[in-house]
Structure 1
């Protein structure tokens, strides 16, 4: 599937977060096509990460120990293929990539001027029975993939005849002013715009509280990527982290 990035300007908070993540440590090489850096404080689950910006540049970061193991100081990599070959030779496979979507500054302005539809509202603890019925009507796979929970930082839902048919939840991500979201629509109600309206409503709520909405989905999740675009988000890039099966 081809996902086309809009020519957009993202929030300085978003740019700053990813800039610090990938270029905030010891920069080993940097060009318009490829940057490689080390960060001493990466946790084990993210000891190697790649970010392919929608504009084209590939950014890589790893721990200093892995930089030595990959000989990145002694033998700089010329391109992405060389970097991935080094990772493969070192038995450091990457997990399947996630698309990262954010609202552009221009699209946020339009979003904040909207009025939330009457069929969409924020969910509270008092909605536990409705939410339990919603979960009971969804498959285990859908529940695992979406990770929508009533006790998350913010939860919104769409209703049809008082039945909860779509829900999205958010939680602060990586200790930043970024709110990562999940969304799930019950199968009989998909393709009717419910998820798009819920995503926009919960995103508006996050922005009101000073958080930047973030939407992630794996590359092979065509429907989820399409939802992000229909909700007005723009592609920021593709993010990969080291696989849990990678060698220590």
Structure 2
């Protein structure tokens, strides 16, 4: 099921982080402007392709973890372009009628999502910017798929690092306040720790050319995005060490440069 409406206008003059991510994953839904920006990132982070795949693996482990604990509805914020192992596919392996709402600000995601999910009654896609959490929540409610009086699994995979620390509470607080006890938040975030400042600067400069600049942080600052949630074991760790259920299907890779911290928080 997908929301109706006219085809949104696509800006091809600036790179899109969703299409750059698609390029990292060897996808085909990207343009020259995206590839050029992605190559600038790759020069500073040569393992970016493997890291993007490992980030998707973390998403799948997170969805399984939440579904096995009774989460029956998921809000995937900044979902990106469709790829193998989407949130709804993983959730439906465990809960066949799990409900999933994908949200992304990129119009290309909306176009592809509509095509992919047109006949799926439990899943839909909406266009909204995470910096406007009221819009995100309103779109989720309007689909009829998300009931905020029951626990929700919120996914912000590789998304919180596009927020400034000043924006953090203005985005995270409305999301947190809308959630019922028992809800979960899964997030990953790039880190400065263990990396040369020149490499971090080069990557930040590449993203500065997009509508969504990126901000690398240390673990303490990343942990702030989980304020109000209780981190489940093993806590906030590099994603190559986050596998609390010993998930063999998406067992973490061990050599991805440790560029990303990740974790799941539970709302009491």
After TM superposition, the score normalised by the length of structure 2 is 0.23
Per the normalisation by structure 1, the TM-score is 0.24
More RCO (CA 8 Å, sep 6+): 1
Which has the larger strand fraction? 1
